[in-house]
Structure 1
Amino acid sequence: MFDLLTHWFSSFLRRRRRLGNFGRTVLPGLLAARGPGQPVPDRLAPDLLRAALEEPAAAIARLETRADGLSAAEAAERLLGSGPNEVEHEKPLPWWLHLWHCYANPFNLLLTALAVLSYLTEDAKATIVIGAMVVLSTAIRFLQEGRSHRAAESLRSLVGNKATVIRRPTGPAAAGVEAAAAHLEVSRRDVVPGDLVALSAGDIIPADCRLLTARDLFVAQAAMTGESLPVEKNADGGSRDAGPLEQRNLVFMGTSVVSGSATALVLATGKHTYFGALAARATATDTTPNAFQAGVNSVSWLLIRFAAVMVPIVLLINGIDKGDWLQAFLFALSVAVGLTPEMLPMIVTTTLAKGAVRLSRRKVVVKRLDAIQNFGAMDVLCTDKTGTLTQDKIALARHVDVFGQASEEVLNLAFLNSHYQTGLKNLLDHAVLEHVELKAELKLEQNYRKIDEIPFDFVRRRMSVVVSELDDHHELICKGAIEEMLTVCTHVRIENGGGPQVLPLDAALLERVQRVTRQFSQDGLRVVAVAMKELPPAQSRYSVADESGLTLVGYIAFLDPPKESAAPALKALAGHGIQVKVLTGDNELVAASVCSRVGLSAEKVLLGAQVEAMSEEELAQAAERCQVFAKLTPLHKERIVRALRARGHVVGFMGDGINDAPALRAADIGISVDSAVDIAKEAADIILLEKSLMVLDDGVVEGRATFCNMLKYIRMTASSNFGNVLSVLVASAFLPFLPMLPLHLLVQNLLYDISQTGIPFDDVDEELVRAPLKWNPADIGRFMLFFGPISSVFDITTFAMMWWVFKADTVAEQTLFQSGWFVVGLLTQTLIVHMIRTPKLPFVESRAAAPLMAMSVAIMIVGVWLPMGPLAGHFKLQSLPPAYFVWLAGILLGYGVLTTAMKRMYIRHFGWQ
C-alpha cells in the first residue's frame, strides 16, 4: 500500500504537466537530456549538409520555390502536406488515459477492492453503493481537470510568436510590370519548407534554414552547441569537413538572432528539424521539479511519512484487540486513504487554472501554470523604465547641432540611418521615421542607394549605415549613445555665417558638447548623437573598424514622459511588499530624472561600469541598497538579477527587448509583454497584454490569492486528517468494536473531498495578499500538529456521549455509535474549512465565496441525511435519536469557540502565513 502511495505522489505532478501546464521552450531541458554539442540525428544530417554545400539557386530549385518566395496558395498547400511547424511538446493525455489516471488513486483502488469483496459475499446493496462512490469520485476529478485543462489551453492563443516570410503575389501583375514580393507576418506554426524568411535582431529562428543573404548576422545557439558566445553566420558556401551544426550558412529552429539581418530558405519544419528531433526525445524524460513542484512534493511526503508511522499502529491495535485481522486490515487501509490528500492534484490543477483564467481577465497571460506561485512570492521587481514608468510613446523633441541649435541636416542624417537599417527598429527609430515628408524631400530613390550596414549591439551601443549619394561617394552615418559615440569621433561640424565648418574635437569642444547633452538629459530627454564621414566609392563591405574618425554632426533628443499611472502603481506595489528597481541602458541623468518624477529614489545610481568592477558579493550588497541602475549591458542586468536572488529575494524581471532575454531567464519569474521581441516572449513565464505596472500589481494580487487557496486545502486536509487518526488510535485502544467501519471512513472522506471542490473559487482576505507568499513545509507541519488535536478533543467527547449518554457500549449497539461519530466527524471536518480559511472570525468578519458555502451546506445536509434517510441500511448506519442533535449543536459550538481561541494564540506566536 505504501509503495502505491509513494509511487502515486511522485508521479501525480508529472501527470499534471501533461494535463495542463504550459512550459517554456523545451530547449533548456535538451541540454540535460543530450548534453551540449551533440551530433545531429543521422536521418537529418545528410539533408542539412546537402543544403549547406549546394549553391543557393540549387537549394531554391530543389525545394521547388522561387527567389521571391512562395505564393500564399502554395504555402497553404504545403502546410497541409508538412503539417504545422510545431515540435513534439509533451501532449495532453487522450481522454481515456486521463480517465484512467483520475480513477487510479489509492481512494478509488481501495473502494474497488471493497466493492469486489461485497460482490463476493453477495452483498449487492453494498456493491452498488460503493461502485457509485467510485464513479462519482472519478467523474468529479475527470470533469474538473478537463475544464481546467481546456481553460489553460485556451490561453495559448493569446500569446503567439510570429515569423516574417517573403511571399509573392498570387494575382496577375499589370502588363510589363513584375509584382514585388511582400514581407508578411504569419504565425510561426504556418511556416512551411520552401518559405523564405526575413530575420533580424530579436527573432527566434522559426525553422532549420539555409542562409541566402546575411549582413553582420550573429546567432545565439548555445542550447544547440554549448557555445556561450553568439556565432557569426553568413551565406557563403559550406565546408565539407564540418558537421551540420558547424556550418556557417545554416541556422536552426529555436536559436535566436542577436544582431544583424538575413534572408533564409526554410529547409525543414516541426518535428523534421534538429530541434524537433531533440524535443521528441526530451519529452520522453522526466524533468526536475521546480520550486513550486518541490513545495507540493514536500507536503505530500510529510503526509506519507505520517501515514507510514500511524497506519501500522492502527492495524496492530485493532488486529490484536478485536481479533478480526481482515477487518483490521481494511480499516487500516481506510485510515491510510483518509490520510492521503487524493484531491490534491485536482485542487492544485483547478486552482492554478482558475487563477490563470482570472489573470487573463486582468490582461496577464500565464505561460506556465506553476509560475503563479512565484508570481505571488515575488518581493523584488526589476524593470526597464521605457513603457513601464514612461508612456512608451516616444516623440522626437529636438534635432540640433553640437551646440544645441536646431539643425535640419542632423534630422536628415538620422532619417537616412533609420530608414536604411534592416535590424531591429526601436521606438527611437520609429519616432524619426514619422517624419515621412523627408522621404520625398531627400529624394531617396533617386539620390541614395544603400551599400552596407553595421548593426547595433549592446556593447558598442551604436549602429551605422553606409549609403551612396548620387553614386559619387559613400557616406557612413552613425547614431548611438553619447559616450560611446564620442569614443569614435575626432571632429565636430559647426555652423557659422560662412557655412558648415569641421573642427578637431579638442578638450574645450568636448567639454561644451558634454555640457549641452547633460542639460538635455537633466531635462528628461533621451539624447542620441549623430555622426558621419565620407568615404571613396570603391569599398563595398564595411565593419566596426570603419566606425572611426567620425565627425560629430549633432544630436536628436526624444521625449518619453512618465505615465500618470506609474506613481500610483509603484505605491501599490510597495504596499504589497514589492521593491521596484529600475535597470536601464540609458544614462544616469535621464534615468534619475524619470525616476524622481514617479517617486523612486534616485539619490544613488549604480552604473554599468561600476557593476563590471564589482565582485559577486559586492554587487549583491550594492544591488540591495540601490533602486536605479543605468548604462547597463544585457550581462549587467543578468548579474544584478542573480545577485538579488543570491540575497534570498524572489526576483521578477520585466523586459521586452533582446537585451532583456538573459535577465528574463535568470529571474525567478520572467515577465514580458505581447509586443515584445520573440526571444523575450520565449524567455518569459508571464506575458502582459498591456505594458503597465498597475496591470502587473493586479496580477501579483491574483497570483497570491491563487496560492492562498491552494494553501487552504493543504492546511485543512493535513490538520483534519491528523486529528482523525489521533481519534481512531484512542477509540481503537478502548472500544470493543471499530469506531467506524472502513465503508464509513471512505464515505466520509469522499463527502469531505467533494466539499473541497469549492476552494478554487473561494475569496481571499485582502490582508493575506499584502505580503509575498512562499512555500513553508515546516509551517504546514506545525499547523497540522497545532489544529489537528482540536478535532480529537471533540471526537473523544462524542465517544463519551455515545457510550454513556446513548448507551452505545456493546457490539450490538456499535451501528448507533458509528453513526453518531460519522455525523460529528463529517460536520466538524466541513466546519474546519470555514474556521481556518481565514485568520478573521468566520461567517462574521470573513465569509466564504458562494460556491464553497454552497458545497459545505450541501455536504453537511447529506451527512445528516445518510443515517436518518432511507439509504442508512445500505451504508450500515442507523437513525439517531432527537436528543443527539442537541448534543451535536453543543459540540459544534464548542468546536468553533475552541478553534477560534487556538487560532488567536497561533497567530500571536507564529503569524498566519
Structure 2
Amino acid sequence: MRMSSLKNLFVPFLRHRHLGRHFQRLILFESLMHTTVSRNMPPEQAQILVSIARHTPETVFAQLNSDPGGLSETQAEAMRAQSGFNEIEHEKPLPWWAHLWHCYCNPFSLLLTLLAVISCITGDLTATVVISIMVALATLLRFWQEVKSNKAADELKSMVSNTTSVIRKHDDDSGVLTSSRYEIPIRLLVPGDMIRLSAGDMIPADCRVLAARDLFVAQAAMTGESMPVEKAVQLHDASTMNPLELDNILFMGTNIVSGSATAIVIHTGNRTYFGALASRVVAEDRAPTSFQTGVNRVSWLLIRFMFVMAPLVLLINGFTKHDWLDAFLFALSIAVGLTPEMLPMIVTSTLAKGAVFLSRKKVIVKRLGAIQNFGAMDILCTDKTGTLTQDKIFLSHHVDVWGKMSDEVLELTYLNSYYETGLKNLLDVAVLEQKVNAQENFSKVDEIPFDFTRRRMSVVVAKEAAQHLLITKGAVDEILACCSTLKDQNGITELTPELLSRVREVTAHFNADGYRVVAVAVKTFPGEKEQYSIADESGLTLMGYVAFLDPPKESTAPALQALAAHGISVKVLTGDNELVTEKVCRDVGLPMHGVLLGGDIEGMDDETLARAIESQNIFARLTPLHKERIVAMYKRNGHVVGFMGDGINDASALRAADIGISVDTGVDIAKEAADIILLENSLMVLEEGVQEGRRTFANMLKYIKMTASSNFGNVFSVLIASAFLPFLPMLPLQLLVQNLLYDISQTAIPFDNVDSDLIQKPQRWQPADIGRFMLFFGPISSIFDVLTFAMMWFVFGAGSPEKQALFQSGWFVVGLLTQTLIVHMIRTPKIPFIQSRPAWPLMAATIIIMGTGIFLPMGPLAEYFRMEALPPLYFALLPLILLGYMVLTQLMKKWYQHYWGWQ
C-alpha cells in the first residue's frame, strides 16, 4: 500500500515519540460504511481460509475465478457488485440531536421535566424556571464536554489516502489483454485481485501468499505477538485449523515489516477477520457500566422515596387544613424539594472538571462517566504488547555457547546484519543499534540470502586478503544442524551429543525466560574463493547466541505498584505465549498467581471460568473473544473492570469493560471502542486517573448524601409540623426559594478538596448505604427543626395563623443554614474546618448563601416572599441551635463510621 503524501502522513505525529509505531498502526480506511453485520467470523469463512491455505496456487486461482495476470476491470466490477466495497463496519457518530437526547435522558432529568410541567400547569412559574434551568445546564454541559472530547479524539486520526498496488488486465492497442500494476484505493479491491506488497505496507484485505521473499509480518494488533512472524508460500503445518496460525495467509490490518510478496485477495470488507471483529464491536450495544448502573440505582432509590413521601404530605395537610389546593401545591413543592434537582448538574460538572484535569495530563475522556469508573475500578485487565512493553525489539544478551557475555558474538552478529543486503528485519535493526564499529576492519566478499526453508542467512567478510570468514545466523535448530564444532573458553571443541544436549539446555533457558534466541556460527575459507553457496554452510563452528526481547516500559513497574497500593488488581490478557508473558511480568514485578491459556478457557463453561479467573492473573494465547469473555466474567463476579489495549484483538474487550482505555497509537477500532485515550503512552497516568476518579466520586457522593439526608429530615419535620400546626409550616414559594439557594451553594462541590483517606480504595455506588445514611442522619436535622418549632411557638408566640409569617421566617432561616452547613459535616468523616478544610469556593458559597438566607426575611424583599423580620432574641438563640446540630452530627458520624465505615 502506498501513501499519497508522506508529508501529510508524518506531520500529525511529529509531537509523539513512537513514530515507528504510528507508521505500523496507520489508519486503514478513509471512509467506512455500514454493511452486513456478523457477530463473529462465520465458521465457513474460517474454513475457506484454511482450505485456501492448503490448496495449490492453481486451485486457488480456480476457486476465485482469477489467474496470475489478475482480474480485468469488468471482472472486478462484477465481483464488487457481489461483495461490496472493501470497507469495514464503523461505529457512526450520533447526530447532534441524538447525542443531545442521550445526554438528557436519565431518570432525574425526566422526573424534573415532569415536575416542571406540573409546576407550569399549576401556575408556579418560579419552580418551572428553576427546574428547567437545572436540567438545561446539566444536559448542555455534558453535551459540550463530550462533543469537545470526541472532536479531539477524531483529530488523532490521520486523514491520509491509502492505496495498494494491484495487478489488473487491460486491453492494449491490438485488443489483447495484458497485465499491469496500478495504484488503486483499497476500497476498490475485490476477492481474486492480485496485489504486490513490500516493507511498510499495510495489508488491505485477507490474502493468500503466492510469492514471497524474506517476508516478515507484524500482527501484534491482531494476535498480541510481540515478534514479527514469518510468512511463506507453503503451509508448514497442514493440520493447522486456527486461521491466525496459517503461514501463508495475510490478514487485513497487519503490516509488512520486511521483505516483499505477491498475494491474491480472498476476503474483503466485513468478511475479513478484522471486519468480523469490527462488526461484532459495532453491532453490540455497550453493556451498562458501573457508573451508569450505580447512578440509576441511586436515582430510583430517591425517586421511590419521593413517591412515598409526597402523597403522604398531601393527605396529612389536606385532611388537617381542609384546603386541598394548597395541600397539593405544598406536596408538589415537597416533591421538588425531595428531588435532588442539582444531581444531574453536580454529576456532570464534577465529571467535566475531572475531564479538564485529565486533559492536562494528555488524556482524552470520550465518555464522562468513565472518570467515575476510574475511581470504582478494582480490576485492570491489560494487554501486554505495546501496553506493558515498548512494542520494540531490543538486543538483550550476546553470549557464548554456555551463556556468558561475549563481545565477540556481538561483533560477529553486527557484521552479519551490517553487510546483509535488502531490507533489514526488526532483529537486524536491534543489532545495528549497538555501538559496534566492526565493519571498519572488514570488507564484504559475498552473501547467502535468507530463505524460509533454511531459516538462516550468511555473509562472507574478509579482514585479510588471505582468509575469508563466513558468518551465519539463524534459528537455533537450523544452525546446530550445520555445526560440527563449538568454541568455548577451552578453544574449538567437537560438538558431541553430550555437548549438544548442554547447548540445548542453555538455549531452552533463554526461551523459558521469554527471549527469542538466534544462534551465530562461523567458518573460515581461503582467500582465493570467489563465490559462496548454501553448500558452504556446513561444518560450522558454533560461537554463541544473541537473545532479543520486547522490554517493559520504564513506567510499567512503578505504575503497577501504585495501582496495587490503591487496591487495584492487575490482570494480563494477551495473545502472546505464556513464556514471554511470564518473563515480562517478572521484569515489571507483577506477582503471578497462575496462568490460564486460551485452550483451557475453551473447555470451561461460564460457572467454571468465573471461579477460575478469581485465582489467576495471567491469561495467555487468547483470542479476542476470550478477552471479551474474561472481562464479562469479572463484571458478573461483581468487579468494576478496566481494560487497556490498543490492537484489533482488544476492541471487543474494550467495549465490554466498565472503562476501556486505549492509546493514540492504537488502531482505529480500538480507539473507537475505548472510553479514554492516552496521548502519552505511560501507565503512570492511569494512577493519576484513578485518583481523579475517586476525587470525582467523593464529591458527587457528598452532594447525594447531604441532599438525601437533609431532604428526608425536612420531610420528616414537615410531617411533624403538619400534624399540630393550624397552617403550613412553610409556603411553597418559600420552600422553592430555600431549595434554590441551597442548590446554588452546592455548585462549588465539584471544586472541593477530598481527604486522602477517601481515595485509597476503589469506590462505587452503593444505594443501600445511601439509604441507610439518609435514614440515620435525616432525623438529626428534624430534632433541631422541632426545637425551632418549639422556640417559635413558645418563645415568640408564633402559633396562630396571624403569626404564621414569623413562624415560617424562623424555620426558613434555620432550615437553610442547617442544610448549607450539613455539607461541611458530611464532606469528611473528620472534624470539619479543623482536621479537614473545605476548598475556598465551597467556603465562599456557604458564607454568601447563609448571608442571603438571613437577609431575605430582614430586608426589603421580605414582603414579597411573605416573610417578616425576626426579633434580636432569635439571633441570640440561632447559634446555639446550629452549634448543637453540628456537635450531635459529629458524634453520630463517629458512631456510624465505627459500625458501617465511611465511603
TM-score (norm 1): 0.66
User: Which stretch of the first structure deviates more once superposed, 681-690 or 711-720?
Assistant: 681-690
Match of 1:171 in 2: none
Preserved CA contact (<8 Å) 2:41 2:277? no
State the secondary structure of the residue aligned to 2:162.
strand
Structure 2 gaps of 5+ residues are 1-33, 43-63, 78-86, 166-180, 223-230, 234-247, 461-470, 522-539
**What is the 5 A alignment of 1:759-778?**
759-778=749-768
Cα deviation for residue 779 of structure 1 reads: 0.8
| In structure 2, distance between residues paired with 1:640 and 1:282 | 16
State the secondary structure of the residue aligned to 1:873.
coil
State the secondary structure of the residue aligned to 2:680.
coil
Match of 1:575 in 2: 565
| In structure 2, distance between residues paired with 1:104 and 1:593 | 48
Q: Name which of 139, 149, 162 aligns with 1:152.
A: 149
Q: Name which of 849, 852, 857 aligns with 1:859.
A: 849
State the secondary structure of the residue aligned to 1:808.
coil
Q: Name which of 891, 895, 898 aligns with 1:901.
A: 891
State the secondary structure of the residue aligned to 1:848.
coil
| In structure 1, distance between residues paired with 2:147 and 2:614 | 42
Q: Name which of 556, 576, 584 aligns with 2:546.
A: 556
Amino acid at match of 1:514: E
User: Which stretch of the first structure deviates more once superposed, 821-830 or 569-578?
Assistant: 569-578
| In structure 2, distance between residues paired with 1:507 and 1:275 | 48
State the secondary structure of the residue aligned to 2:707.
helix
Match of 1:529 in 2: 518
Structure 1 residues 111 and 698: CA distance shift in structure 2, 3 A: closer
Structure 1 residues 429 and 754: CA distance shift in structure 2, 3 A: farther
Q: Name which of 486, 491, 503 aligns with 1:512.
A: 503
| In structure 2, distance between residues paired with 1:891 and 1:725 | 19
Match of 2:299 in 1: 300
Match of 2:337 in 1: 338
Preserved CA contact (<8 Å) 1:493 1:553? no
Cα deviation for residue 865 of structure 1 reads: 2.4
| In structure 2, distance between residues paired with 1:385 and 1:277 | 23
Residue 818 of structure 2 is aligned to residue 828 of structure 1: yes
Cα deviation for residue 492 of structure 1 reads: 5.0
| In structure 1, distance between residues paired with 2:195 and 2:357 | 37
State the secondary structure of the residue aligned to 1:779.
helix
TM-score (norm 2): 0.66
| In structure 2, distance between residues paired with 1:645 and 1:156 | 27
Preserved CA contact (<8 Å) 2:298 2:765? no
Preserved CA contact (<8 Å) 1:448 1:468? yes
- Residues 337-396 of structure 1 show CA distances to partners (whole Å, capped at 9, x for unaligned) of 222222222222222222122122233333433222332223344557777777777642
Match of 1:740 in 2: 730
State the secondary structure of the residue aligned to 1:871.
coil
User: Which stretch of the first structure deviates more once superposed, 699-708 or 142-151?
Assistant: 142-151
Cα deviation for residue 783 of structure 1 reads: 0.9
| In structure 2, distance between residues paired with 1:277 and 1:525 | 31
- Residues 246-268 of structure 1 show CA distances to partners (whole Å, capped at 9, x for unaligned) of xxx99999x888999999999xx
| In structure 2, distance between residues paired with 1:375 and 1:625 | 23
Match of 1:366 in 2: 365
Preserved CA contact (<8 Å) 2:306 2:335? yes
Preserved CA contact (<8 Å) 2:389 2:553? yes
- Residues 429-450 of structure 1 show CA distances to partners (whole Å, capped at 9, x for unaligned) of 6524647999999999x97889
Cα deviation for residue 594 of structure 1 reads: 7.5
State the secondary structure of the residue aligned to 1:912.
coil
Structure 1 residues 335 and 646: CA distance shift in structure 2, 3 A: closer
Match of 2:46 in 1: none
| In structure 2, distance between residues paired with 1:101 and 1:619 | 36
| In structure 2, distance between residues paired with 1:201 and 1:787 | 69
Q: Name which of 710, 731, 753 aligns with 2:700.
A: 710
Match of 1:813 in 2: 803
RMSD: 6.3
- Residues 196-250 of structure 1 show CA distances to partners (whole Å, capped at 9, x for unaligned) of 9999999999x9999999989999999xxxxxxxxx999xxxxxxxxxxxxxx99
Structure 1 residues 802 and 495: CA distance shift in structure 2, 3 A: same
Match of 1:633 in 2: 621
Amino acid at match of 1:306: F
| In structure 2, distance between residues paired with 1:704 and 1:467 | 58
Preserved CA contact (<8 Å) 1:705 1:769? yes
Match of 1:725 in 2: 715
Amino acid at match of 1:892: L
Amino acid at match of 1:156: A
Preserved CA contact (<8 Å) 1:381 1:652? yes
**What is the 5 A alignment of 1:233-382?**
289-382=288-381
Structure 1 residues 708 and 333: CA distance shift in structure 2, 3 A: same
Amino acid at match of 2:92: E
Structure 1 residues 492 and 892: CA distance shift in structure 2, 3 A: farther
Match of 1:675 in 2: 665
Residue 878 of structure 2 is aligned to residue 888 of structure 1: yes
Preserved CA contact (<8 Å) 1:635 1:662? no
- Residues 727-754 of structure 1 show CA distances to partners (whole Å, capped at 9, x for unaligned) of 1211222211111222222222222222
Residue 781 of structure 2 is aligned to residue 784 of structure 1: no
State the secondary structure of the residue aligned to 2:517.
strand
Amino acid at match of 1:374: N
Residue 694 of structure 2 is aligned to residue 697 of structure 1: no
Amino acid at match of 1:88: K
**What is the 5 A alignment of 1:80-91?**
87-91=91-95
Structure 1 residues 812 and 486: CA distance shift in structure 2, 3 A: farther
Preserved CA contact (<8 Å) 1:311 1:335? yes
Structure 1 residues 84 and 662: CA distance shift in structure 2, 3 A: closer
Q: Name which of 758, 761, 781 aligns with 2:748.
A: 758
| In structure 2, distance between residues paired with 1:607 and 1:286 | 31
Between the aligned residues of both structures, percent identity stands at 50
Report how many residues are paired. 764
Preserved CA contact (<8 Å) 1:670 1:686? yes
Structure 1 residues 433 and 889: CA distance shift in structure 2, 3 A: same
Cα deviation for residue 691 of structure 1 reads: 3.7
Structure 1 residues 803 and 318: CA distance shift in structure 2, 3 A: same
Preserved CA contact (<8 Å) 1:723 1:791? yes
**What is the 5 A alignment of 1:54-203?**
87-93=91-97, 106-107=111-112, 110=115, 113-114=118-119, 117-118=122-123, 133=130, 136-137=133-134, 140-141=137-138, 144-145=141-142, 147-149=144-146, 151-153=148-150, 155-156=152-153, 159-160=156-157, 165-166=162-163
- Residues 444-464 of structure 1 show CA distances to partners (whole Å, capped at 9, x for unaligned) of 9x978898899xxxxxxxxx7
| In structure 1, distance between residues paired with 2:188 and 2:816 | 62
Structure 1 residues 397 and 332: CA distance shift in structure 2, 3 A: closer
Cα deviation for residue 326 of structure 1 reads: 1.5
- Residues 584-628 of structure 1 show CA distances to partners (whole Å, capped at 9, x for unaligned) of 7577599569837x6x376x674567984998688877766677x
Residue 841 of structure 2 is aligned to residue 844 of structure 1: no
Structure 1 residues 345 and 277: CA distance shift in structure 2, 3 A: farther
| In structure 1, distance between residues paired with 2:660 and 2:692 | 17
Structure 1 gaps of 5+ residues are 1-29, 39-51, 66-82, 119-125, 169-180, 185-189, 223-231, 235-248, 455-463, 470-474, 480-484, 533-549
| In structure 1, distance between residues paired with 2:611 and 2:104 | 53
Cα deviation for residue 468 of structure 1 reads: 14
Cα deviation for residue 854 of structure 1 reads: 2.6
Preserved CA contact (<8 Å) 1:654 1:670? yes
